[in-house]
Amino acid sequence: MSKIIRTRKPSVLPYYAAALVFVVLCAVLPVYRLWALAAALAAAAAAFLAAKKVCPPRVVETEVPFHTGVEDVDAMLADIQQKLDALHSLNESLPDPQLSAAMTRMEKAGRSIVEVVEANPAKAKQVRRFANYYLPDAVNVLQQYAQLARQGVRGENAAAIRAEVEHNASSIATAFENQLDALYAAESMDLSADLTVLQNMLKGQGLSK
């Protein structure tokens, strides 16, 4: 989830100090002579170093939603989280219990997907379609449903849209859960293989029937 990123930003005061010293010396020294120009530059450099010791870099703290080390993955996770927040708000505004239950499943699966990808950014490519199509489309359809419900729109078209959303909400939730399961598919296969090896070892040692 959100993290605090600390960055060090150098102070600009040493640069101002160096510039001020250089300008003042240029005003009082014959800088058209090489020795005077060198003296002015040396004094400016000394002023810069002295001011740098007095004015250390500032530590700036910035809160970011995600910090996986991969910029496009962070952006994708932030976008998913934003849409899941919208889904949560929609869920709170809709009274239908069955639809609400399906939306709760969608959100739970989506939050778990975010956690898995945040912990393992290499899995991001497995959820690109979910992030770019499935989740946005689901939120968009539910927003339209909520708008119809708020406006009290009646008629065959409105009724058909509401019925279709209510009917398919559970299937959409299942699709989200399947996407989450797919992230664990490789681990499940590796675990199954490890268990098979372990069982064979136990059988070889006469420790398993």
Q: Looking at the structure, do residues 53 and 76 belong to the same domain, yes or no? A: no
Shared-domain flag, residues 87 and 56: no
- Of residues 194, 170, 187, the one with CA closest to residue 116: 187
User: Residue 201 domain-assigned?
Assistant: no
In a shared domain, residues 186 and 100: yes
How far is Cα 93 from Cα 82, in angstroms, rounded to an integer?
17
Q: Which of 63, 89, 112 is the last residue of a domain?
A: 63
Number of Cβ atoms within 10 Å of the Cβ of 23: 11
Residue 133 lies in a domain: yes
**Pair 98, 190 in one domain:** yes
Residues 15 and 91 in one domain: no
80 & 174 share domain: yes
Q: pLDDT above 70 covers what percent of the chain?
A: 77
Number of domains into which the chain is organized: 2
Give the number of C-alpha atoms closer than 13 A to the C-alpha of residue 122, restricted to the C-beta side: 2
Whichever domain contains 133, its CATH number is: 1.20.1440
Determine the structural domain holding residue 18 and report its residue range: 3-63
Mean pLDDT of 4-31: 84
33 confidence band (pLDDT: 50, 70, 90): confident
- Amino acid 177 reads E
Residues 59 and 86 grouped into a single domain = no
The share of the chain scoring above pLDDT 90, in percent, equals 22
Q: To 10 degrees, the CA torsion angle through 109, 114, 116, 120?
A: 160
The 3-class secondary structure across 8-64, one letter per residue, is EECCCHHHHHHHHHHHHHHHHCCCCCHHHHHHHHHHHHHHHHHHHHHCCCEEEEEEE
Tell me the pLDDT band of 86, cut-offs 50, 70 and 90: very high
**Would 202 be classed as within a structural domain?**
no
In a domain, 108, yes or no: yes
pLDDT at 207 > cutoff 50: no
Q: Are 76 and 126 in contact (CB under 8 A)?
A: no
Predicted confidence at residue 108, as pLDDT, reads: 95
Model pTM score: 0.61
pLDDT in tens, 173-194: 888 998 898 888 765 445 455 5
The residue among 11 and 77 whose pLDDT is bigger is 77
In a domain, 206, yes or no: no
Cα–Cα distance measured from residue 127 to residue 182, given in angstroms and rounded to the nearest whole number: 9
- Ranked by mean pLDDT, the top range of 50-59, 147-156, 181-190 is 50-59
Last residue of one domain, picked from the residues 41, 63, 85: 63
**pLDDT score at 164:** 78
Q: Do 43 and 81 share a domain, yes or no?
A: no
**Is a pLDDT exceeding 80 seen at residue 158?**
no
Same domain, 75 and 125: yes
